[in-house]
Amino acid sequence: MILQKRTGGFSLWCLTLLLYSFLGGEVFGLAQDSDVAQQNLKSSLSEMGYVEVHLEGCKVSFSRLVQPSQRNGGLHRYDRVIKLGTLNFDGEIDVRSTEAGGKTYYYFIAPPNEALSDLHHDAEVFRQWVNVKFPGVNWPDYFPAQHDFRTEAVEQFLHDQFPNFAKLNLWANFTKFGRSSLATIDFRMYSESKPKLERFKTALQAYSRQFEC
C-alpha cells in the first residue's frame, strides 16, 4: 500500500516535471525570440547613427544629434516616436529611392491602420487650419529651415487643438526657435544607405510581429 502511494506520487511528480519542462522551454523560447527581435532593432538603429533608442512594447523611440547651422535653422537634434499599433505591416513594404541635392536617398513608407480613421481626420483638420492661420508653414511638412517666430505658436496650437496628436507617429525637431512636433498617420524612414535601411525595415517588421502590435 505504501509502495503504491509512493509510485503514484512519483508518477505525478514526473508528469509535473515533464509539463514544467515543456512549458518552461516554450516560454524561454518566446523570451529568447523577444530578446533577439529587440537586439536586432536596436542595432539597426545604432548602425544608422541614432541614439537614445528605447523600446517599450509597441512604442519605439530614438533620436539623432545634428550639427546646427544657419541653413538648417539651428537644428541640433530630432526625436522620433513610432506607434506600431497605428501602422499596417500586413502588405509588402518596398524600399524606394529619390534624388535630392545631387544625392540619392532611400526610403520606405509604412501605411496607416485604417481603424484609426478618427485620428486621421483630426490630423487633416489641424493641417488645414494651420495652413490657413499660418500661410507657408505647411504642417506637418514643416522643415527646420522654414522655422521662424511662428514655430512656438504652431506648437502651442497643436497641443491645444489636437491633444490626441501624441497617439500618432511623432517627429520632433529642436531648432533655435524651439520645439516643433509633427504627427503623421503613416511612418516614413529615410537613409543614404539602402542596405542599412533594409535591415532596419526587416528588424522593425519582425519586432512588430513579435509583440503583436
Distances, alpha carbon 50 to alpha carbons 44, 64, 115, in Å? 9, 5, 30
**pLDDT, tens only, 66-108:** 999 988 989 999 999 999 999 998 888 999 999 988 899 999 9
pTM of the model: 0.80
**Per-residue model confidence (pLDDT) at position 4:** 43
pLDDT at 10: 45
From first to last of the 213 residues of the chain, give the pLDDT tens digit: 434 444 445 455 444 444 444 455 544 444 567 789 999 999 999 999 999 999 999 999 999 999 999 889 899 999 999 999 999 988 889 999 999 888 999 999 999 987 777 888 888 899 999 989 999 888 888 889 889 999 999 999 999 999 889 999 999 999 999 999 999 889 999 999 999 999 999 999 999 999 998
State how far the Cα of 75 lies from the Cα of 176, in Å rounded to an integer. Answer: 7
128/40 Cα distance (integer angstroms): 39
Cα–Cα distance measured from residue 60 to residue 44, given in angstroms and rounded to the nearest whole number: 13
Cβ distance 73 to 178 under 8 Å? no
Q: Is 178 left (phi over 0), alpha (psi -120 to 50) or beta?
A: left
CB 40 within 8 A of CB 47: no
What's the confidence (pLDDT) of residue 37?
Answer: 94
